[in-house]
Structures are given as structure tokens and as C-alpha cells.
């Protein structure tokens, strides 16, 4: 529509519209399963930048691991057979991600026990954080 309507062909418009479907599912998955909108911090300047980057990196890791993940039925899906031929969704990869990470291992050493901490001084009261300053409206 408008004066610039001749700049886009119908094929380009169709392909762009089809990509929207993938983006909508990515945002839905990121909000529901990767907790994209659940992070809260009093630092408003860096809140969305760093957290969203971290969520997108985790989504890319799930995408990269899709070839290695196995489609395992849940406990209540016993009647379903293991099906590795299906397209592996990000949810299935996330469910099997622990086995992928355990195969890779970690370069870190095991933690050492340090005993019990002393905790807060008796009678110390923490000030409650106000969420009104954290939200930008």
C-alpha cells in the first residue's frame, strides 16, 4: 500500500510473512520456557539488553543441539515409542539437554565444603526492595 508499494514483489512479501511464523513461536517459547520476561533487576539500563542476549544465546544452543537430542517420551506417554525421525522441537531438546551436557562434562573441579555460614546478625532487618522503581512504564 502507499507510494512505495512497487518496491516489494509479492514473492518477497510472502517469504517475509512466512518468517513471522517462526519468530512468533521463538518468542512464545522464550517467554514460556526460557523465562525471557521473568528477570527483574533494579538496573533498568542493562536489564533487557543483557538478559535478552542471554536468552537468545540459550535458544541458539538449543538450536545447535537439535541434531544430538533424542526424542524421549515423558513418563505419562508410555504408550508412545521413542521416535527419532520426527522434527525435534526446542522443548524436546531442552528436555534432553541434561544428557548432552553430562556427555560433554565440565572443566571445573568439584566444590569443596566450607562449613556453615554465620548468617545475618540477630535483629538485622533487610529493607524491602520497591518494585515501583524497577519497572519502567
**pLDDT recorded at residue 99:** 87
- Structural domain of 55: 9-74
Asked, for residue 137, whether it belongs to a domain, the answer is: no
| Residue 67: all three cell numbers together | 541434531
pLDDT of residue 2 exceeding 50: yes
| CA proximity to 59, closest of 51, 71, 49 | 51
**pLDDT recorded at residue 85:** 60
Asked, for residue 66, whether it belongs to a domain, the answer is: yes
| CA proximity to 51, closest of 64, 65, 63, 34 | 34
Place 84 in a pLDDT band, splitting at 50, 70 and 90: low
Asked, for residue 116, whether it belongs to a domain, the answer is: no
**pLDDT recorded at residue 41:** 75
Asked, for residue 82, whether it belongs to a domain, the answer is: no
What is the DSSP code (8-state) at residue 110?
A: P
Residues in the chain, total: 137
Asked, for residue 69, whether it belongs to a domain, the answer is: yes
Asked, for residue 65, whether it belongs to a domain, the answer is: yes
Helix (H, G, I), strand (E, B) or coil at 8: coil
Measured in whole angstroms, the distance separating CA 2 from the mean position of its chain's CA atoms is 39
List % helix, strand, coil for the chain (3-state, nearest 5).
Answer: 45, 0, 55
What is the DSSP code (8-state) at residue 4?
A: T
| Residue 82: all three cell numbers together | 521413542
Place 137 in a pLDDT band, splitting at 50, 70 and 90: very low
Place 21 in a pLDDT band, splitting at 50, 70 and 90: confident
In this predicted model, which residue has the larger pLDDT, 15 or 72? Answer: 15
Asked, for residue 123, whether it belongs to a domain, the answer is: no
Give the total number of structural domains in the chain. Answer: 1
Q: What is the mean pLDDT of residues 90-111?
A: 87
Asked, for residue 41, whether it belongs to a domain, the answer is: yes
Amino acid at each position: 500500500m502507499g507510494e512505495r508499494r512497487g518496491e516489494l514483489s509479492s514473492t518477497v512479501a510472502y517469504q517475509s510473512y512466512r518468517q513471522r511464523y517462526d519468530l512468533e513461536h521463538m518468542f512464545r517459547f522464550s517467554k514460556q520456557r526460557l523465562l525471557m520476561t521473568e528477570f527483574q533487576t533494579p538496573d533498568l539500563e542493562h536489564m533487557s539488553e543483557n538478559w535478552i542476549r542471554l536468552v537468545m544465546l540459550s535458544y541458539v544452543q538449543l538450536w545447535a543441539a537439535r541434531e544430538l537430542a533424542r526424542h524421549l517420551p515423558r513418563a505419562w506417554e508410555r504408550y508412545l515409542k521413542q521416535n527419532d525421525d520426527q522434527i525435534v522441537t526446542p522443548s524436546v531438546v531442552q528436555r534432553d539437554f541434561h544428557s548432552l551436557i553430562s556427555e560433554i562434562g565440565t572443566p571445573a573441579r568439584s566444590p569443596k565444603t566450607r562449613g556453615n555460614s554465620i548468617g545475618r546478625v540477630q535483629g538485622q532487618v533487610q529493607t524491602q526492595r520497591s518494585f515501583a522503581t524497577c519497572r519502567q512504564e
